[in-house]
A and B are shown apart, each in its own frame.
Chain A
Amino acid sequence: MKHVLVIDDDESVRDAFEIALSSMEVAVEVTSVNNGESGVEKAVAMTPDLIFLDLKMPGIDGVETLRRIRAAGCESPVYIATAFMPEFLDELALAAKEGLRFGLSQKPLTGEQIRMIAEGSIEGLDREGVGNDG
């Protein structure tokens, strides 16, 4: 059983992740929380195989959430979900310069894209893993 933590204040996004990940061939248990503080607690308690983290949330944002997750010693792979736009990427560039390691995922993601990220990040590339454009 693999464990994925989804941290996003948007219920419809959390639902989309749960639906997408529930249809993977490998068994995946999804835990969802709607804010950064709860996300830090869950990440430290679970050490999940993968974390999807929204950048913009009420309270502490995605970067601060990641900072606290890493400071607590959790090294799970983290994908921060955001649009690939300069107004969002500038903040993330500073986080990268701090030495924080993370991946990025374009927002919004389709169910297939969510599964491709999970399969590539959790399981390696022993199944699907290549997406053709169009």
Chain B
Amino acid sequence: MADSYRFHFYVTSSDEKTLEVARQMEEALSQKFEGMEFEIKNLFEGGNAADALQDGVFSVPSLVKKMPEPIAQVIADFDNNADILIAVEKLSDSN
């Protein structure tokens, strides 16, 4: 049985542009990791800063593969759609 995948997308804004990037990212991830869980985490809201520290995040925005371990972080120009797709591939290869 395949491990379940969980991703955190850490951001510093919840504006429309960021949400559109997140939507594209979630779509790309869902095509690669069936049944995966995806969560947007604005560092300025709730306990997300603490979660970032727990995830070993040192840069925001970043995409984190939380599960399965090992945790992996990708930094990219996420405004660039091509970089989103490459980020997903990189995380796929990080297992």
CA distance A125 to B80 in the complex (A): 11
Partner of B83, one of A99, A104, A116, A124: A124
Contact (Cβ within 8 A) A132 B74: no
Contact (Cβ within 8 A) B57 A124: no
Closest residue on chain B to residue A119 by CB atoms: B75
- Distance to closest chain B CB from A39 (angstroms): 19
- Distance to closest chain B CB from A24 (angstroms): 14
- Distance to closest chain A CB from B74 (angstroms): 6
Closest residue on chain B to residue A106 by CB atoms: B58
Number of A-B contacts (CB under 8 A): 92
Per-residue contact bits, chain A 78-106, to B (CB 8 Å; 1 contact, 0 not): 01000011100100110010010111111
Per-residue contact bits, chain A 94-134, to B (CB 8 Å; 1 contact, 0 not): 00100101111110010001001101110011100111111
- Which of under 10, 10 to 19, 20 to 34, or 35 or more describes the interface residues of A? 20 to 34
Contact (Cβ within 8 A) A77 B77: yes
Partner of B49, one of A86, A103, A130: A86
Contact (Cβ within 8 A) A120 B74: yes
- Which of under 10, 10 to 19, 20 to 34, or 35 or more describes the interface residues of B? 20 to 34
Contact (Cβ within 8 A) A129 B49: no
- Distance to closest chain A CB from B72 (angstroms): 5
- Distance to closest chain A CB from B76 (angstroms): 5
B94 at the interface (CB under 8 A from A): yes
Closest residue on chain B to residue A90 by CB atoms: B44
B25 at the interface (CB under 8 A from A): no
Contact (Cβ within 8 A) A103 B72: no
Known A125-B87, A130-B91; contact A106-B57, beta-carbon cutoff 8 A: yes
Q: Which residues of B are interface residues toward A (Cβ below 8 A)?
A: 12-13, 15, 43-44, 49, 52-53, 55-61, 70-77, 80, 82-83, 86-87, 90-91, 93-94
Q: Which residues of A are interface residues toward B (Cβ below 8 A)?
A: 77, 79, 84-86, 89, 92-93, 96, 99, 101-106, 109, 113, 116-117, 119-121, 124-126, 129-134
